[in-house]
Amino acid sequence: MNRATLTAAYLDEVKRRGLHARELIGSQADADYLNIFYDGRYLSRPLFLGAEECAQLHGDMENLRSALISIPDRLFGGDLAAFARAVGMTEVQVSAIMRSRGAAVTRLTRADLYLAETGFQMMEFNMGGAIGGIDNADMARSLLENPVLAEFAEAHRLVYVDSMAEQVKTIKLESGFPLDSRPMMVMTDWPTSWETLGPYIQVYTGRLSERGLDACGAHIGQLEVRDGGVWLGDKRVDIINRLFLIEDLLEYPEAPTLAWPILDAVARGWVKMFTPIDSGLYSSKGALAMLSDEKNRQVFSPDELASLDRILPWTRMVRPGPVTLENGRRADLLQHALTHRHDLALKPTAMHGGLGVLLGWHPDTTEQMWEEQVRAALDGPYVLQRRIRPAPELFPTCDGDVTPWIVCWGAFTVASGYGGIYCRATTVESNDQIIAVRTGAHSGTCLHARE
């Protein structure tokens, strides 16, 4: 069975049993360790994927990652700094990347996708220790407390990945620690975001400590470099799990001085960093534009191209001059952007969570506003990306009916392969254009069929 048939069969069973949303959500609604971040907003059923669908999605993500991490060698002769500048990084950011470049690029990634009529389409690709939603297995366990879903899952061989357990394995493997070791790890945020995320990080690290890490949380200003190591108080740190982002280095002029001592300690081998700042390069939408650009197709393998053609919408850096459109026609990029704004989104290359995004089709985006912003973005760190029109998913409601929601699928890869799915969604009726927890989205997870 595939996603559509599994979904229809489960919704029929829910309707037959006369169940409503509150009964289906399970104990997650009362779980303080989840609600501190997700604020009690959960989807009333899991998403579903058939075995072949899950395998293809994971294969496409692996091929996309393979293509991404090869860009410096294939397009820039191995010059990582040139690649960084090409995707719009500042000299401060380039310096940070070169100070802490990792020996290998992490396998911990999350692709954010919409499911359109033609299949999955990717909006952005996140990489490294700062990606969220890894506690989605808690949501799966809670949903499966309902015997109807439990019976359905058993009948259709549906399972989920414990993404948090896989995260711990990936951290240890990529940081060079045995799986049976217990390194001291600090989830390290930026001072300003620590004010809001700190309580959640403290809870989250407590759960990581139950899974084989000696974990705690702090912001980067609380770490101290001394005596040939990095210390948090009287504890020597083995691994810095980096939550602060490459854009944080631009927050204020003195911001880099917080990072340089830590990055230099990483370069000296005094501490491991999961993940080095260069992972932010491969999360850049500028890198996706390079994958999408037809002039680069000859450097990628047939398997990589097949995956890119399936899941990556048309994406281009905002540069003056001609570009090739999906239909093969050549057009001036600026003129195309101005005459087709309802089909395009303007996005900064190195921001996250929908920050800085201007949607050409949004009711509040006037023609004048769009033209001003696109012209201002020329030769800057911005991309234009083709609009994705997601197909709604139906979810049970509190009155026993169903209602359509727009879902953002967050699909993980980890060191061992497929890492599960975290999703967030809003109702079609709400007409929310940016789906994020901070703007009130509901959260959920996915069950997939075993092969």
Q: Which of 345, 339, 360 is nearest to 314 (CA)?
A: 345
pLDDT band for position 433 (50/70/90)?
Answer: confident
Report pTM: 0.94
Q: What is the pLDDT of residue 202?
A: 93
Residue 37, pLDDT > 80, answer: yes
Answer yes or no: are the C-beta atoms of 271 and 240 closer than 8 Å: yes
pLDDT range class, residue 270, cuts 50, 70, 90: very high
Band of pLDDT at residue 354, cut at 50, 70 and 90: low
257 by DSSP, 3-state: which? helix
State the Cα torsion 202-204-207-209 to the nearest 10°: -60
DSSP state of 391: P
DSSP annotation of 401 reads -
Cα 448 from chain centre: 19
What is the percentage of the chain residues whose pLDDT exceeds 90? 82
Asked if the model's pLDDT at residue 325 lies above 80, the reply is: yes
Q: Show the tokens assigned to 165.
A: 């357990």
Give me the mean pLDDT over the 89-108 stretch: 90
Mean pLDDT (whole number) for 331-358: 89
pLDDT on residue 150? 97
106-116 burial string, b = 16+ CB within 10 Å, else e? bbbbbbbbbbe
- The residue-averaged pLDDT of 412-425 equals 97
Lowest mean pLDDT among 135-149, 196-210, 307-321, 351-365: 351-365
* Range 330-351 average pLDDT: 93
Residue-level pLDDT at 121? 96
pLDDT exceeds 70 at position 184: yes
Q: Which domains are seen in the chain, by residue range?
A: 3-282+391-449 (no CATH), 314-386 (3.30.1490)
pLDDT of residue 353 exceeding 70: no
Mean pLDDT calculated for residue range 217-236: 96
pLDDT greater than 80 at residue 355: no
DSSP string, 202-256: HHHHHHHHTTT-EEEEEEGGG-EEETTEEEETTEE-SEEEE-S-GGGGGSSTTTH
